[in-house]
Chains A and B, each alone.
Chain A
Amino acid sequence: MLIPCPQCGPRDIREFTCKGHETHMKRPAPDAPPTAWDDHLHNRDNPAGPTRELWYHGAGCGAWLVVSRNTVTHAIAGATLAREGAR
């Protein structure tokens, strides 16, 4: 798989580490009830098809990316900087 890093261009998957679904970026409020934190930490939609994930470009520019990827075909539709997605 080649991931199109917005800063570095298309780079080999070896340069990246996958954190998991972009839900990691959507933390509940600190005072949210325990059920919200349980849901955030453990439960997943786990889609078979298009998904959006956090990947870390550790052997490249060091940016966190939101990668649009298909879990059935491994096709990558695109990637954006996570800090832009969070805006």
Chain B
Amino acid sequence: MNLKELVTGVPGEKQFLLGNEAAVRGVIEAGVSIAATYPGTPSSEIGNVLSVLAKDANIYFEFSTNEKVAMEVAACAAASGLRSFTFMKHVGMNVASDSFMTTAYTGVNGGMVILSADDPSLFSSQNEQDTRNFAKLANVPILEPSNCQEVKDMVKYAFDLSEQFNIPVIVRTTTRVSHMRGVVEFGEVKDNSSNGDNHWKRGHFNKDPSKYVPVPAFAGSMHVRLWDKIHKIEEITNKSELNTEIKLTENKKYGVIASSSAYNYAHDVIKFNELDVNILKLGFSYPFPQNKVAEFLSDIDEVFIVEEVDPIIERDTLACIGANGLNVQVHGKLDGTFPLYHEFNSDVVGDGLNKILNFKEETGIDYSSNLEKLSEDIPSRAPVLCAGCPHRAMYYGINIAIEELGMKASDVIFASDIGCYTLGINPPYNAADYLLSMGSSVGDGCGFSVSTDQKVASFIGDSTFFHSGISPLINAVHNKHNFVLTVLDNRITAMTGGQPNPGIPVDGMGDEAPEVSIRKLALACGCDYVRVINPFNLDQVVKTYKEAFERNDTAVIISKAPCTLIKGLTKKPPVNFIEGNCNKCDKCVSELACPAISKIDGKITIDKSQCDGCNVCIQVCKYGALEAGR
């Protein structure tokens, strides 16, 4: 598919879309004017696509420095009467939450939708938190699509709902919805034509401090208005077609209440096993559709609650049963029918239903002992730093510096952060000992340096530094904390697929943009030792780290070299191996651990299709067995 079809596609047209692409089409159909994000998997592709399409779709789009800023950009656009969209991953909601919580109070004029992508089973996240808690916490409505068509339709509907009640609306996806592909039928596109010099529409902010400035005198009545809205919206959730009963049987003993991707698993297990169970699918789960659920429960004896991550619908259902004096037995996470953590699938849901319904027979296959042994013996294939990755060179170099200073790497605390470089946790680098969240490595450097006598090395990426690394660096300098901070400036937000950040001269729409200097920022924070190094020059890396570790202040090293995945970089030819010179010390394999170098049948082998020509291995080999390609 050509991505432009997301803009040009006509109603009735069908495309095979990723959930995240479907979200973009929903945004376009809804006539959004302003969109902002900080990239985070599983939501990242929404930004990648908007970045390409923003101008054609009359949308202003930015990669903000962090999710809180993105939330503020969207909130102000909505306050100015424009439709605005912000999106992030679940942990991004934590960053955005300070401003988000109050946006629920101030409300919106143009529709404002927040898409938050949860990551059950932590495919690429540091926790499994459930965004639905934020809906309850802030008291805003939440929609839970279960497939790509629903992503598009619910995003569009969320804008109408937002404008109807002047309240921001959350759309919660999960990895299996964001990264599902399915057939999506397009609908009408609402006009959002530019009304000025820019390619996007401009709104107007009408001042009204009693509505928009939550000083205590005003915020109290805002809270009253918020509850009033929620009560009215509950009438809608009770009638909404997004909360609908799927009738698969006339038998009324058992029912399932399910949402999001968990609904898909329940549906397929019930359908393909022809179970006598009906499903109440909740696509609009907060405010909780109490009456609709009570009506569904009044017909049945036992209900299964099938939802991923937290038992949120389950607790609401239990409350509903209590409030309505119903006699229904509830099977869910709380009674152990389904697991309390990790993502579901048809097997998990089937096993849970089977505990009560006993419909499954064991269908094990007897494999030969050879196969069992083979299965146990295959090497693991964890994600690794790419061949040619500048982070590998830096980790290799810092370990040499530590050794040459007479220290042991095991005595240095490596505070890591969110990005590709977290993969430094793997052997042989073992360079990640503690990690909390975006920007935490710098605050952790402060914490460890004041609470231990150990040396601390903190690592943070360029994008993450802009996101949340600057304020803890100010803290470090002012409070005289002693650690070495490395900013791994690979000229891109690499982990999420290569989005721009303020350190490079291009913005989210591909236009030229001022480049913000990490070096000058560090100097302005008051750091006395700031060095920019080329990580591919091992001698320079080692020398600089030795200097930095011998200081007693906050030393900043900026390891600057582009991510090898950036498109359009000129690659150097792959390295050659000269067998006659090889001393079989295996340093290149065991200590550098580059995926392009392996030992096959006792001989070093360079995979020419992977080797990037970074030439770090040449500096590692003392015997001249590796030489630059020509």
Q: Do A and B bind each other?
A: no
Chain B interface (Cβ within 8 Å of chain A)? none
